[in-house]
Chains A and B, each alone.
Chain A
Amino acid sequence: MRKRIVILGGGTGGTMMANRLRRRLDEDTATITVVDTDDRHVYQPGLLFVPFGLAEVDDIVKPRHRQLRRGIDFREGEIDHVGLERERVTLVDRTVLPYDVLVVATGATLQPEETEGLTGPGWQERMFTFYDIAGAAQLARALESFDGGRVVVNLVDMPIKCPVAPLEFAFLADSYFTERHIRGRVELTLVTPLDGAFTKPIASERLAGLLAEKDITLVTEFAVGEADGEGGRLVSWDEREVPFDLLVTVPLHGGAAYVGRSEGLGDDLGFVPTDPRTLQTLARPNVFAIGDATNVPISKAGSVTHFEGEALTENIVRFLDGKELSAAYDGHANCFIETGFGKALLIDFNYETEPLPGRFPTAVGPLPLLKESRLNHLGKLMFQWLYWHALLPGRDIPGIAPEMSATGKELAPEPVGKEANDR
């Protein structure tokens, strides 16, 4: 009997898992079906560049089915729910897909309507998000005609995809307005619910230093209760206000809508409770999850999904063989942080080790960690090629292991000083 593997979501995690599993399991052993609502695969890291005219929408979207190997069935359709008891997925058009193994890879969903006022007057006029294609394209037009005033970059609440993206947006905005010779007329502010620039202490301190250097005001512990598009102000739950002429916000995130309709699958936000090491869900032994869709305590990021892929592939193969799950993901994450003017920072961390300064060894030589450099910016640009040609096909990225390596990291970092951020 051929086993039926159903993968929900044809984004980064779903595509990569389908390709990895197809290579490991021949077609007589298992069928692989990938389900998604549309056939547009977005290279999400590219969304950051669209508002600044540094990438075009067409450059970052490709058909989903074209990223899948031969022998993988792609279904376009909206998921209604997963029936864990009967081991089947029901689509909105009533198609039923029975499974032996299910992989949840439907990522996170933006929920701007959950914040009072945000989708009201001024939405997509002076209040934008760059977290989807339409929003990023609209924001590009708004920035083009913007000639001065208060720009507020905000994240409403964690968790969000790519937690460094709001910082990157602020850095790139500084660079963008400088190049347009209007930086002096623009007040840039980053408003965050966190108590610092980032979630981890050492990186947070370094990034706060960079914000200050670039004259970007940081407002912390600001939990947005209301976005007032007409009045141009963000209002926090504890009644503080930040005025804006242009708001760039990252809306609340939740899991995919069908997760909430699938009894026993998700948590209160629609993310799927998942064992952080084996990536088996707590819902059922034959249900696994990867990437942004899980609740594992690490950044929602493409690199995380990529590193999870190896352990998850191994565990699914073992599960089908009736063996104990042995592969373990260590929480490895690796993110380039664009800092503007053709430079970027690199951070590398896992469940136990926070981002530290030092040097990150790669196949082409070491990259500086937690420090601005042109090399890191080139690394970020090169990553787009690797994404389509190595990550999605399910190949390892040369010289970068799934497990975090301590090599090159300064375990007891020097105190942050001016030299530390020296360009």
Chain B
Amino acid sequence: MTTIEVGGVAVERDPEGFLVHPEQWTPEIAEELAHESGIPELTPRHMQVVEFMRERYLTTGTAPSIRTLGKESGVPIKELYQLFPKGPAKLAAKIGGIPKPRGCI
């Protein structure tokens, strides 16, 4: 278990850096997590995806897949890969403070 400190408050994270308690998430934490993941700045487009992810997670209990993000978040898949390189669903979940989307096996 690791922690991330934002504004003097320590927030708990799992070994891969995902927040343990999604309710502790703040936009400041999102900025911090984005930097550490190699995204220099969170634009409104980034936030549109992050907020969609959070809302879906908080209402349904599971994070949406990349296919659903592409269809329903208002950001097409190609752009998702530009905004969140390599793994948009995983990265947006991390920045959004929700658990890692369940690995497909």
User: Is B85 an interface residue, CB under 8 A from the partner?
Assistant: yes
Decide: B81 and A268 in contact? CB cutoff 8 A. no
B103 CB contacts on chain A under 8 angstroms: 199, 297
User: Is A142 an interface residue, CB under 8 A from the partner?
Assistant: no
Per-position contact with A for B51-90: 1 when CB-CB < 8 Å, else 0? 0000000001010111110000000011011100111000
Query: For the complex, what is the distance from the CA of A221 to the CA of B66, rounded to whole Å?
Result: 14
Partner of A238, one of B66, B68, B81, B104: B81
Decide: A238 and B86 in contact? CB cutoff 8 A. yes
Decide: A298 and B86 in contact? CB cutoff 8 A. no
Interface of A is mostly: loop
Partner of A157, one of B60, B66, B81, B85: B66
Partner of B78, one of A221, A225, A298: A225
User: Is B9 an interface residue, CB under 8 A from the partner?
Assistant: no
A223 CB contacts on chain B under 8 angstroms: 66, 81
A299 CB contacts on chain B under 8 angstroms: 105
Partner of A237, one of B60, B62, B64, B77: B77
Decide: A163 and B105 in contact? CB cutoff 8 A. yes
Interface size class of B (residues with CB under 8 A): 10 to 19
The chain A residue with its CB closest to the CB of B79 is A237
Query: For the complex, what is the distance from the CA of A159 to the CA of B102, rounded to whole Å?
Result: 11
Q: Taking the nearest CB of chain A, how far is it from the CB of B93, in angstroms?
A: 14
B62 CB contacts on chain A under 8 angstroms: 267, 273
Query: For the complex, what is the distance from the CA of A221 to the CA of B88, rounded to whole Å?
Result: 12
User: Is A200 an interface residue, CB under 8 A from the partner?
Assistant: yes
User: Is A205 an interface residue, CB under 8 A from the partner?
Assistant: no
Decide: B77 and A298 in contact? CB cutoff 8 A. no
Q: Taking the nearest CB of chain B, how far is it from the CB of A413, in angstroms?
A: 19
Which A residues, 158 to 175, have Cβ-Cβ distances below 8 Å to chain B?
Answer: 158-159, 163
Query: For the complex, what is the distance from the CA of A297 to the CA of B102, rounded to whole Å?
Result: 7
Decide: A221 and B104 in contact? CB cutoff 8 A. no
Given A223-B66, A237-B78, output 15 extra A-B contacts at Cβ < 8 Å. A157-B67, A159-B105, A199-B103, A199-B104, A225-B81, A238-B81, A238-B82, A238-B86, A267-B60, A269-B65, A269-B68, A297-B102, A297-B103, A297-B104, A299-B105
Q: Which B residues form the contact surface with A (CB < 8 A)? A: 60, 62, 64-68, 77-78, 80-82, 85-87, 102-105
User: Can you list 11 residue pairs at the A/B interface with Cβ under 8 Å?
Assistant: A158-B105, A159-B104, A159-B105, A163-B105, A223-B81, A225-B81, A267-B62, A268-B65, A268-B68, A297-B105, A299-B105
